[in-house]
Structure 1
Amino acid sequence: MPEEDLVELKFRLYDGSDVGPFQYSPTATVSMLKERIVSEWPKDKKIVPKSASDIKLINAGKILENGKTVAQCKAPFDDLPKSVITMHVVVQPSPTKARPEKKIEEEAPQRSFCSCTIM
């Protein structure tokens, strides 16, 4: 594929640091981007995604769907020549990991304490 057809992307993390820029084909999917981000994630960060499903990508104020391609996610103003597109990365653990913790809390009996003092 000719180099001018490639799209240059960088990914802004929660602390303002960046991963990339990397060049991608316009046919690359959001899932592929997420896998690359997880593999290139800086080791010195406090928050680290365990898998690609823990990451949400945001471009032009929209959360990108895994099945979409880079070409479908580009905003119209990104058509400037040789521009680097910045996508924001949000790390959010999948809900299936958080549920067992909630069940433990729900199983604990709730006690209500009431006291009355008559003087």
Structure 2
Amino acid sequence: MPEEESVDIKFRLYDGSDIGPFHYSSSSTVDFLKQRVVSDWPKGKTVVPKGINEVKLISSGKILENSKTVGQCKTPFGEVAGGVTVMHVVVQPSLAKTKTEKKVDKAPKAVICTCTIL
């Protein structure tokens, strides 16, 4: 039985800090990686994901789909054997939250006309 390939991955956050590197099998899904990122998110950051739906992983300039495996996401070029793969993490709050925030930010404006017609 062939030995399953494994990959070392670290996650680069918006401020340049990293989570990891961690060792994953090539059959691990992107969904599993997102769960790991959310659970290991550093304390004290200004942006914190509430769940995996707010996290996007980017590798080689492509947003990775949840159903893909690490083996399917690897690019054959540009990777050093035994090196660490870097995936960028983008936190994007859910649309429902941003819509309610916009409503709160917009206070009704009173229009007062001080024109005088002679």
Cα gap change, 1:17 to 1:111, in 2 (>3 Å): same
Higher helix share: 1
Decide whether the 8 Å contact of 1:12 with 1:87 is kept in 2.
yes
Residue correspondence of structure 1 range 34-45 to structure 2 within 5 A: 34-45=34-45
CA distance in 1, matches of 2:92, 2:16: 17
CA distance in 1, matches of 2:105, 2:20: 41
CA distance in 2, matches of 1:16, 1:27: 27
Deviation at 1:115, TM superposition (A): 5.6
Aligned to 2:85, what secondary structure does the other structure show?
Answer: strand
Decide whether the 8 Å contact of 1:9 with 1:23 is kept in 2.
yes
Deviation at 1:83, TM superposition (A): 1.1
Decide whether the 8 Å contact of 1:14 with 1:89 is kept in 2.
yes
Match for residue 27 of structure 2?
27
Match for residue 70 of structure 1?
70
CA distance in 2, matches of 1:73, 1:85: 11
Deviation at 1:99, TM superposition (A): 2.9
How many corresponding residue pairs?
Answer: 117
Decide whether the 8 Å contact of 1:78 with 1:85 is kept in 2.
no
Deviation at 1:46, TM superposition (A): 1.4
Identify unmatched segments of 5+ residues in structure 2: none
Match for residue 99 of structure 1?
99
CA distance in 1, matches of 2:57, 2:28: 14
Which letter does structure 1 place at the counterpart of 2:20?
A: G
RMSD over equivalenced CA pairs, Å: 2.5
Normalised by the length of structure 1, the TM-score is 0.81
Worse-superposed segment, 92-101 or 54-63:
92-101
Percent identity between the aligned chains? 56
Which letter does structure 1 place at the counterpart of 2:37?
A: I
Decide whether the 8 Å contact of 2:79 with 2:85 is kept in 1.
no
Match for residue 59 of structure 1?
59
CA distance in 2, matches of 1:43, 1:16: 15
Aligned to 1:81, what secondary structure does the other structure show?
Answer: coil
Identify unmatched segments of 5+ residues in structure 1: none
CA distance in 1, matches of 2:112, 2:73: 55
